[in-house]
Structure 1
Amino acid sequence: MFEKDEWTQQELYKNTKELQKKNIKVILIDTILKPIENIETIVYNPFEMLTMPKGSVFVFYCDTGKTTKSRLEFYKNKFPDYKCISLRGGRGYWRPNYQLLEELDKNV
């Protein structure tokens, strides 16, 4: 889950669901003042972010994902008690109607 520095939208949903079972919070961080539809985000604010429970996962996004990926080491140094991930493709790749569906049991 944390082997990569960036998550796709699908990985974000899937990993958020898994981490919620372990009481680990995943927060989508808006670095460009353009909120994403259909998901809760907070604007990049280090003071507010430091009030989040330690061990939380911060998923940063920009327009294309390139800027947040290049700044990831900065974020990791600034927030050492948190996991920092970049959203692959950023806001431009986001699919507002995407849903993570449970796999149906196969009739065998």
Structure 2
Amino acid sequence: MFEKDEWTQQELFKYTKELDKQGIKVVLIDTVLKPLEKIETITYNPYEMNDYPKGSVFVFYCDTGKTTKERLNYYRNKFPDYKCVSLRGGRGYWRPNYQLLEEMN
């Protein structure tokens, strides 16, 4: 889960569900002042972000995902008590009607 620097939208939904069961908060961070549709996001604000519980996961996104992936080391240094990941493809690959469905046995 944390071996990769970026998560796809599918991985974001899947890992958020898994981490919620463990009591770990996953926060989607908007770095371009363009909120995504049908999901809760917060605007990049270091002061507000430091109020989240230690160990939370910050998923950063921009328009294409390239800038946030390049800045991951900066974010990781700025927020050492949190996990930092980039959203693959950013806003460009976001599918507002995407749903994670349970597998049928």
> TM-score with structure 2 length normalisation?
0.99
1:20 counterpart residue number: 20
Task: Calculate percent identity across the aligned residue pairs.
Answer: 80
Deviation at 1:104, TM superposition (A): 1.0
1:31 counterpart residue number: 31
Aligned equivalents of 2:4, 2:19: Cα separation in 1: 16
Which residues of structure 1 form unaligned runs of 5+? none
How many residue pairs end up in the alignment? 105
Computing the radius of gyration from Cα coordinates, the structure with the larger value is: 1
Q: Which runs of 4+ in 1 moved over 2 A?
A: none
RMSD: 0.3
1:4 counterpart residue number: 4
Instruction: Report Cα offsets for 1:2-54 as digits up to 9, x if no partner.
Output: 00000000000000000000000000000000000000000000000000000
Return the letter of the residue paired with 2:93. Answer: Y
SS at match of 1:20: helix
Which residues of structure 2 form unaligned runs of 5+? none
